[in-house]
Structure 1
Amino acid sequence: MKLLLLYAAITCLPSCYASSGDRSHIYQDCVSRCHTQSCAAGPADLPIALRLTRWTCTDDCKYQCMHLITDAAIDTGERIHQYHGKWPFWRFAGMQEPASVAFSLLNLLFHVRGAQRVRQRIPIEHPMRWYYLAFSAVSVNAWIWSSVFHTRDLPTTEKLDYFSAALAIIYALFYTIVRLFHLYPRRTPQHFRRRAHHIWATVCCVAYISHVTYLTVLPRFDYTYNMAFNLGIGMTHNVLWLLYSLPASLSLVRRFPGKPKSYRPTFASKAAVFVLLTTAATVLELFDFPPWYRTIDAHSLWHLATAPIAAFWYQFLIEDSLDDSWRTAKSE
């Protein structure tokens, strides 16, 4: 699920940070010479794939110098450096990080399939069906911008990636509260629940708009705040689903309307498994290493790991929605 983008927001180094590679005099001199020879006389004739993905002559000089220095480092057995917050990747069709692009699109595909399964399996009258379809939509949007950002890391694509990820994360918390505290519409509406739903929706909207506004008006993007915001929401989401999965003897939430707190279907454990899987996938980010064949790094592997976890989560949501307890809820 797109909540997994929380961990990307927490662990990704912002590309604007200087790294050891781009601080070196060898790199800076190389870029300066390349710019003088190739760019100063006028626009360079770049391949159409680079022009379509908004590479400039200077960008291409940085790319070429980065790989020239990396080639020399590999030949001499020296340490490989990062440049502008990123490892040296071979580009493909203008994409800076083709593996992360491919795996982001894989996540997008899993969410599209998840939405299809929700439509096919969850009855149209189910109160949570619309919420899960909306979750799929914001997740697809987030993975689209993730793939765009990994194609070209620019200030605009970076913000769109972060903001769409934050939207998916906060929406995940929104529908979790609606589901676990039974704020969804009922056939016999209760004014308290309706007001609570409206208040909660307003809180989420205001929080998201304030988050985006704050990060937009600042002269420099506040990465620390962005991490803290996403971490707080994501951890709250995970804790709530852990409460859902507690043993029947320790139940703190009433999982289904019309049933006691002690009612715990066997699939409830899957919520805890999901939390464990997302945590385990995040460990990949801790093992930051130069990309294999300048293509696969820890972050791209993290993207690869999140795709099947998303499929697992949709399966859980569908099982939860098909529990017989919902039939009792219809009569309320």
Structure 2
Amino acid sequence: MKLVLILLLSLCLLLVSASSGDRSPAFQSCLLKCDYRTCKSLSSTWSPSLALRLTRWTCTDDCKYTCMHEITSRALSSRNGEEVQQYYGKWPFWRLGGAQEPASVVFSLANLYMHLRGIRAVRRSVPEDHPLKTVYLWWGWVNVNAWIWSAVFHTRDLPWTEKMDYFSAAVAIMYGLYSTVVRFTHIYPPPPSSLTLSSRQPSSHWKKNLYRLWSTLCTLIIVAHITYLTSLPRFDYAYNITFNLVLGLSHNFLWLIFSLPASITSLFALKRYPHAPISYRPTFASKAAWFVVLTTLATTLELFDFAPWWRIIDAHSLWHAATVPIVGMWYDFLVQDSRDEGWRYGGWRDELKD
């Protein structure tokens, strides 16, 4: 979940930062001339390709793109060491098939693919009667949706694609925390009546009510979050960052506790598995900590904000690329965790693993 959180933060910071390129006299002069000659002149011959029409490029948008790259090319060829500038909060990228940031689009789709693979692994390898199988499948689809909108947003940065990207990311972060709390507190959704439930005892009435309460609370929080942001005249980036930070850090904190030695987790009264002693810690528990560490390291790529190499690859797209293998690693962990003996009612062998 932290993956989608940092995506959200970086996009927000880029958008709210000032851009010297689009305010420069050279750019404004180029834009005025291009807009008049290409878009407003009676002799205009602007005819967008099918890709540009499908991605909703206007004539003025195309002029902005053309002027941006003309000025960038002059800066790169200058012997005076002129710096490449940002325009409208973004670095100048070569577009591909109408996509504004093709590398980020490709890596977003790669993350989407890894989630689809993970969903297939959960379906195939997690036991049918496991209490969290449905939760994990929904978690996968929520993230698939988030990465779809990430790809759409990087294809075309428009007000509605921006909001869909942000809101989908927020839902994914919220669902990550929701599923983690369900996992750690052992309050599970009601099972299908067709299952034999060999992996769990009948849920107590208070746990069922607690599950419904937690589900309702998370739903109300995310609905209120989206409603608040859509009701404002201007998008509240600072609030949006704070909201997702709180959720994401809470999620990571819980999984860090999970990975700690049993002597420490017992202080938090954390029972990792419903049918194993509180002191039981599987050998693979440390993988949860590695996930948090690796996502944090991948996030540091965002700190090295630089003009894109060959006008294609920037720090943000590299961060997207770095998360691809981490997604696969996390699904492997979830499958391994779900197959542990500690989930089986009456099937746990008296072995302590620390």
TM over 0.5: same fold?
yes
For normalisation by structure 1, the TM-score amounts to 0.96
Structure 1 residues 263 and 150, CA gap change in structure 2 (3 angstroms): same
1:9 matched residue in structure 2? 8
Find the residue that maps to 1:20 and give its secondary structure: coil
Q: How many Å separate the matches in 2 of 1:41 and 1:187?
A: 75
Asked if the contact 2:122/2:335 (under 8 Å) is kept, the reply is yes
Counterpart selection for 2:141 from 137, 140, 145: 137
1:150 aligns with 2:164: no
Amino acid at match of 1:318: V
1:143-199, Cα deviation, whole Å (9 max, x unpaired):
000000000000000000000000110000000000011011454121111111111
1:273 aligns with 2:275: no
2:58 matched residue in structure 1? 56
Amino acid at match of 1:220: R
Larger mean Cα displacement after TM superposition, 252-261 or 165-174: 252-261
Q: How many Å separate the matches in 1 of 2:256 and 2:134?
A: 23
Q: How many Å separate the matches in 2 of 1:149 and 1:292?
A: 21
1:12-38, Cα deviation, whole Å (9 max, x unpaired):
235475401011111111101100000
2:305 matched residue in structure 1? 288
* The structure with more radius of gyration: 2
Find the residue that maps to 1:23 and give its secondary structure: coil
1:299 matched residue in structure 2? 316
Q: How many residues align?
A: 330
Q: How many Å separate the matches in 2 of 1:23 and 1:194?
A: 58
For normalisation by structure 2, the TM-score amounts to 0.91
Counterpart selection for 2:272 from 247, 255, 267: 255
Q: How many Å separate the matches in 2 of 1:218 and 1:28?
A: 30
Equivalent residues in 2 for 1:39-118 (5 A)? 39-41=39-41, 44-76=46-78, 77-118=81-122
Q: How many Å separate the matches in 2 of 1:258 and 1:132?
A: 20
Structure 1 residues 329 and 137, CA gap change in structure 2 (3 angstroms): farther
**Post-superposition shift, 1:330?**
8.3
* Superposition RMSD in Å: 1.5
Asked if the contact 1:257/1:329 (under 8 Å) is kept, the reply is no
Find the residue that maps to 2:225 and give its secondary structure: helix
Q: How many Å separate the matches in 1 of 2:317 and 2:17?
A: 20
Structure 1 residues 130 and 329, CA gap change in structure 2 (3 angstroms): farther
Structure 1 residues 167 and 286, CA gap change in structure 2 (3 angstroms): same
**Post-superposition shift, 1:258?**
2.4
Asked if the contact 1:14/1:223 (under 8 Å) is kept, the reply is no
Structure 1 residues 68 and 255, CA gap change in structure 2 (3 angstroms): same
Amino acid at match of 1:155: P
Asked if the contact 1:172/1:237 (under 8 Å) is kept, the reply is yes
Q: How many Å separate the matches in 1 of 2:172 and 2:346?
A: 28
Asked if the contact 2:92/2:308 (under 8 Å) is kept, the reply is yes
Equivalent residues in 2 for 1:128-207 (5 A)? 128-184=132-188, 185=190, 187-207=201-221
Q: How many Å separate the matches in 2 of 1:93 and 1:111?
A: 25
Equivalent residues in 2 for 1:115-130 (5 A)? 115-130=119-134
1:235 aligns with 2:249: yes
Asked if the contact 1:16/1:84 (under 8 Å) is kept, the reply is no
Asked if the contact 1:6/1:231 (under 8 Å) is kept, the reply is yes
Asked if the contact 2:2/2:295 (under 8 Å) is kept, the reply is no
Q: How many Å separate the matches in 1 of 2:313 and 2:346?
A: 48
Amino acid at match of 1:28: Q
2:25 matched residue in structure 1? 25
Q: How many Å separate the matches in 2 of 1:96 and 1:189?
A: 51
Asked if the contact 1:3/1:168 (under 8 Å) is kept, the reply is no
User: Structure 2: any 5+ residue segments left out of the alignment?
Assistant: 191-199, 349-354
